[in-house]
Amino acid sequence: MELDYSLTNVLILLGGIQGLIFSLILLSKRKRQAQLFLGIFILAITYNAFETFTALSGLSKSILFFDFFSYTVVFLTGPSLYFYIQSILFPEKIIARSVILKHLILPIFQGAINVILLSIYLLAISQVISFEVDLIGLYQIFDTYSQPLSILVFATYLGMSIKLYVKSSAEEGELISSSANQKTTLKFTKILLIILSGLAVLWIVAWTLASYSTINVQLVYYPLEITLVFFIYWSFFVINNKLQFLNEEQKQTNQLQISKSDATKIMSQLKRLMEEDQLYLSPKITREIVATKAEVSPKHISTILNQFHKQNFNDFVNNYRIEAVKSHLRSDKLKTNTITGIALDSGFNSQATFQRVFKKSVGVSPKEYAAQYAEKALK
């Protein structure tokens, strides 16, 4: 059998090998959830690279593994990307296993179909079952819905990831404290999502041409496959460096050893600054400003809030703002001011942020809360 080991095919193979090594390293460490999800995402793309190499080099007839499970592995890219973006943008939130499993229903279903088809084929050729099975025909049916569905699923999760980025970017711009690490993470996420959006467009164009034109299928998918390989190279250097940076930041935070008594003392200072000095009324309040007034480091504030109170600095300050708004809504202040005006007076700098934070904290909108209180007052 004559194999094609052209420069392009070797490049694809080396990219696949690098992606495999990178993904296995990520999956073996798993110090952060982000590493786990990134490892799965890179592994899924790497599988595609090996599938492309075997097809272009002429090995596909000898190595059938990559043909059998391509439409199982590809369905992992969407959920793993979404959870990776969520993990780096909101590292304080741990994603529950039940939530992860819920998003893996489709890949599990595709895997089950693959196993069933393969089992039927193996039973047929080993003559355990007597009837002949057209495995190619069955896989053609499987491919008919799997290709467009895989594109739709990835595009959906990409859209959900972009929505997470927009939400995080809005919080960074509208809320209180924005660290250099947050800005770097947002910038990196934006670049990553732009690249993946470009890949999604290439994927849609390739599938459309392959389905509705007479152009050779391999030629149509060639630009997409090559771009994916270069993405693997890029991810190894850029994304890996970003993860190392995040791990170093986490390590520095973890090195802050604060006793419970010291944490209680500092927390009392923070509460005094909020309750007596009412620092939360300033829309421009930051963690650094509060740290200076409390005579502690900003990292100590973050560590105490995260480790002892399970909240971040923004949540801590906004809780006081919400209580102030609720107090005003229960008073006669609505007669002389609007709900938006009350929110701005209480320290919020954006109506959209105020509405979102209030409903998340209280469970109802500010207008509904005011109406409910007015109804109770009449009884």
Q: Rounded to two decimals, what is the model's pTM? A: 0.67
Where along the chain do the CATH 1.10.10.60 domains lie?
260-378
Q: What is the pLDDT along the chain (379 residues), one digit of tens a residue?
A: 566 677 778 888 888 898 999 899 888 876 678 889 999 999 999 988 888 888 777 776 656 666 667 778 889 999 999 999 998 888 767 788 899 999 999 999 988 888 887 787 777 777 766 656 566 677 777 778 888 999 999 999 999 999 999 988 876 654 444 455 677 778 889 999 999 999 999 999 998 998 888 887 777 888 888 888 889 888 888 876 766 666 555 555 554 556 677 788 888 999 999 999 999 999 888 888 998 898 888 888 888 888 778 788 888 999 999 999 999 888 877 778 899 999 999 999 888 889 989 998 889 999 998 888 877 766 5
The SS3 of residue 145 is helix
- The domain 260-378 is placed in CATH, from the list 1.20.1250.20, 1.10.10.60, 3.60.15.10, 1.10.3720.10, at 1.10.10.60
Where along the chain do the CATH 1.20.1070 domains lie?
7-254
C-alpha to C-alpha distances, 67 to 6, 53, 144, 215, nearest whole angstrom: 21, 12, 15, 21
Q: Which helix (H) or strand (E) holds 105?
A: helix 105-125
C-alpha to C-alpha distances, 116 to 14, 119, 123, 151, nearest whole angstrom: 32, 5, 11, 23
Q: For residue 45, what are the contacts with CB-CB under 8 A and spacing of at least 6?
A: 19, 77, 228, 231, 232
- What CATH fold (topology level) applies to the domain 7-254? Rhopdopsin 7-helix transmembrane proteins (1.20.1070)
- Tokens, residue 218: 């391999």
Q: For residue 369, what are the contacts with CB-CB under 8 A and spacing of at least 6?
A: 326, 329, 358, 362
Q: 293-302: long-range contacts at Cβ-Cβ below 8 A with a sequence spacing of 24 or more? A: 294/266, 294/269, 294/270, 295/269, 296/266, 296/269, 299/252, 299/253, 299/256, 300/256, 300/258, 300/266, 301/266, 301/270, 302/253
Other C-beta atoms lying within 10 Å of the C-beta of residue 112:
11
